[in-house]
Amino acid sequence: MACGLGAIILVFMIIKQNVDQGGAEADLLQADLAQLQEQNATLKKSIAKLNAEALGEMKNITKTQADVNVLKNETAKKSDIVARKKRELSAVQNTIKNAPKAKQNDVLKNDLGGEENYVMGIKVEGRKIVLLVDSSASMTDEKLIRIIRRKNTSDAEKKRGPKWQRTKRIVRWLLARTPKSSRISVIAYNRTAKVLGGNNWLNSRDAESMGKLSRDLDKLVPTGATNLQLGLQKAASLGPTDLYVITDGLPTAGQSRYASLNPFAACSSLLGKSSNISGMCRVKLFRQSIYESTPKGGVKINVILLPIEGDPQAAPEYWAWSASTGGLLISPALSWP
């Protein structure tokens, strides 16, 4: 009896021990489960964040691809423009290369280039065109020392001056490009002013008239002072619509009674007291000359200014004058015409 009771007690003790151990293990498993659930939540958050970042990157990739497509389209358009410009340039180059020499019906021939009708913006146009040509001593050369030397040489040597030869080429270049419907007059001025060709108005397509004009031009000797006012007065008497002035600087003589004009009190050369004229007095003389003698009636004035030493104010003064009439000033390259 005692043995049976002891066995039963032993069985209860074993069962109680197993129950106690099972509760401890359940607590551990519960803790592990809670930790795993926490890790699972953390992983889900990480996955959601990564998904959001991936979506953002996809949007960036899509935008970048769109930008790339836009750039490709713009590049294609610019490539087409470049190709078209190259074709246009090639066509222009071929046109220049194949440009005909002077037409057979031109009275004055010029084989130095094609049939260009303009140079750097100046176009020969107008119903009544006057070419006002400076034929003073300075028109023989660019360097003052060479001009002074030529003053003491023969007329033939003066006429051979490189700038004077260029001046005559410019006159012929302009005459060859005068519109057929225009009338033309050429006035040479130094200390005097005279119309070349025998008549005030000539037809540039009339061979006889142009022949006489060309001969008169070749007879001119560049000498004396530069009296722009006389040239302007002669031009004004003809009533031109367009005036083309070929010169190299500001005037050195004029027609006004300067002793009665206050701005010229210090200009002794204009008062007959000196043979030299200062740069400032030349500016004053130029302004007085164009103020008194520029042709009326809205005449457009273009100026071809050739180079010379020691006259820096010439360009701005002639530019202001021509611009005020709607014309242009050019100082052409040595290779023209």
Q: Could you write out the DSSP letters of every residue in 37-105?
A: HHHHHHHHHHHHHHHHHHHHHHHHHHHHHHHHHHHHHHHHHHHHHHHHHHHHHHHHHHHHHT---S-TT
- Report residue 86: phi and psi, to 5°: -65, -40
Highest mean pLDDT among 13-17, 212-216, 330-334: 212-216
Please give the Cα distance from 302 to 307 (Å, whole number). Answer: 16
In Å, how far are 103, 109, 168 from 113, measured between CA atoms? Answer: 12, 11, 16
Tokens 């100082």 correspond to 331
Per-residue tokens: 184: 């033309």
Tokens 């129950």 correspond to 19
Tell me the pLDDT tens digit for each residue of 64-84: 888 898 988 888 888 889 888
3-state secondary structure of 138: helix
pTM, entire model: 0.66
**Averaged pLDDT score across all residues of the chain:** 86
Please give the Cα distance from 200 to 217 (Å, whole number). Answer: 15
> In this prediction, what percent of the chain has a pLDDT beyond 90?
50
Tell me the pLDDT tens digit for each residue of 158-217: 999 999 999 999 999 999 999 989 999 999 999 999 999 988 999 988 889 999 999 999
The pLDDT of residue 25 is above 90: no
Tokens 């008497």 correspond to 237
Residue 120: pLDDT band (50, 70, 90) is low
State mean pLDDT over 41-68: 88
- Which option is the CATH number for 118-330: 3.40.50.150, 3.30.465.10, 3.40.50.410, 3.40.50.720? 3.40.50.410
3-state secondary structure of 212: helix
Please give the Cα distance from 135 to 223 (Å, whole number). Answer: 7
Strand intervals (E) in 157-263: 183-189, 193-196, 202-203, 242-247
Residue 105: which of 197, 186, 210, 200 has the closest Cα? 210
The H-assigned helical ranges of 152-206 are 155-159, 162-176
Per-residue tokens: 71: 């750039």
In Å, how far are 81, 149, 168, 186, 260 from 219, measured between CA atoms? Answer: 55, 21, 11, 14, 38
- State which amino acid sits at residue 129: I
Domain coordinates of the chain in residue numbers? 17-98, 118-330
Please give the Cα distance from 161 to 166 (Å, whole number). Answer: 9
